[in-house]
């Protein structure tokens, strides 16, 4: 299974969207500063996750989420409670 996830910085409330096959390991990497995109804004908390059978499906969803231009659109998905 592949997981699309959204994490939120506790420091500045910014969001990061990603996908992984091992969410627990990936969260640990984000919080240890091992990801270039997120290392300066941690710690991070998981605010959304959704599982997919294939990487292709998860990549498509990741790109869809990243295409949202407004923060409010992303927050609507986060607060909808879907697959959280």
pLDDT in tens, 16-28: 999 999 999 999 9
Q: What share of the chain is helix, strand, coil (3-state, %, to 5)?
A: 35, 25, 35
CATH label, 2-79, candidates 3.90.1150.10, 1.10.645.10, 3.30.930.10, 3.40.1440.10: 3.40.1440.10
Q: How high is the pLDDT of residue 84? A: 41
Q: Tell me: pLDDT of 83 over 60.
A: no
- Over residues 18-46, the mean pLDDT reads 95
Given phi > 0 = left and psi -120 to 50 = alpha, else beta, which region is 13?
Answer: left
Q: Report pLDDT for 69.
A: 85
Q: What pLDDT is recorded for position 79?
A: 87
pTM over 0.85? The answer is yes
Count other Cβ atoms within 10 Å, centred on residue 73. 11
């Amino acid at each position: 299974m592949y997981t699309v996830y959204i994490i939120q910085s506790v420091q500045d409330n910014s969001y990061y969207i990603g996908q992984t096959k091992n969410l627990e390991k990936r969260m640990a990497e984000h919080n240890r500063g091992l990801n270039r995109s997120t290392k300066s804004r941690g710690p991070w908390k998981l605010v959304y996750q959704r599982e997919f059978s294939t990487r292709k499906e998860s990549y498509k969803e990741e790109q869809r989420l990243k295409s949202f231009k407004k923060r409010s659109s992303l927050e609507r998905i986060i607060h909808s409670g879907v697959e959280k």
